[in-house]
Amino acid sequence: MLLTLEKYFVLESNIKANEEFVPEAIKKLNYDIEAAGELYENSEDNNKFRIVISITFDRKKGSRKKSVPYSGFLKIAGLVELNDNVPDEKKEPLLMVSGLSLLYSAAREHIASITARGPWEPFYLPIISFRKDESTIDGEIMGDKCKKRG
């Protein structure tokens, strides 16, 4: 394992049901979704980090208010540890892709769980990639031990 998620926790959660939402009138949900990450290094161990992801989801600007069932903001922090074999220059890319992906997955589950108790169908954040390009970060670190499928 290159990266281990030791623990994660919700720092802030604000999810609102839109009482004006009209499911029959909407063919496609019209969301703006923003996700931003922050990275903090442990001062005592350079392989331990705190990653924070902030996610905002709301209707797209200019779209009708009744076009989305839920809106909200969620902030999740995770404590992660990297394997000793990860070179220093690969730490940040690995954390900002794989670490944020782990936290985003936890955020998807949290939002789906909360909205499942709401007046509309559960809302699932779309799956996104935090990779900036098509390179395989894990493959670059592991060399010939990791091969890209397909």
Domain boundaries, the chain: 3-145
pLDDT at 147 over 60: no
- pTM here? 0.83
**Coil, helix or strand at residue 78:** strand
Mind listing the pLDDT tens digit for each residue in 38-94? 999 999 999 999 999 999 999 888 777 788 999 999 999 999 999 999 998 999 989
- Burial of residue 20 (number of CB atoms within 10 Å: 0-12, 13-18, 19+): exposed
For residue 49 the two structure tokens come to: 């980090």
pLDDT of residue 64: 79
Q: Which of 110, 46, 44, 115 is nearest to 77 (CA)?
A: 110
pLDDT at 149 over 60: no
Q: How far apart are CA 8 and CA 52, in angstroms?
A: 9
Cα–chain center distance at 101: 5
Mind listing the pLDDT tens digit for each residue in 7-25? 999 999 999 999 999 888 7
pLDDT of residue 133: 62
Mind listing the pLDDT tens digit for each residue in 91-117? 998 999 999 999 999 999 999 999 999
pLDDT at 123 over 70: yes
- For the chain, the average pLDDT equals 86
Q: Which CATH superfamily is domain 3-145 in?
A: SecB-like (3.10.420.10)
pLDDT at 143 over 80: no
- Burial of residue 73 (number of CB atoms within 10 Å: 0-12, 13-18, 19+): middle
Around Cβ 118, how many Cβ atoms within 10 Å? 16
pLDDT at 1 over 90: no
Read off the pLDDT band of 129 (50, 70, 90).
Answer: confident
For residue 15 the two structure tokens come to: 């999810």
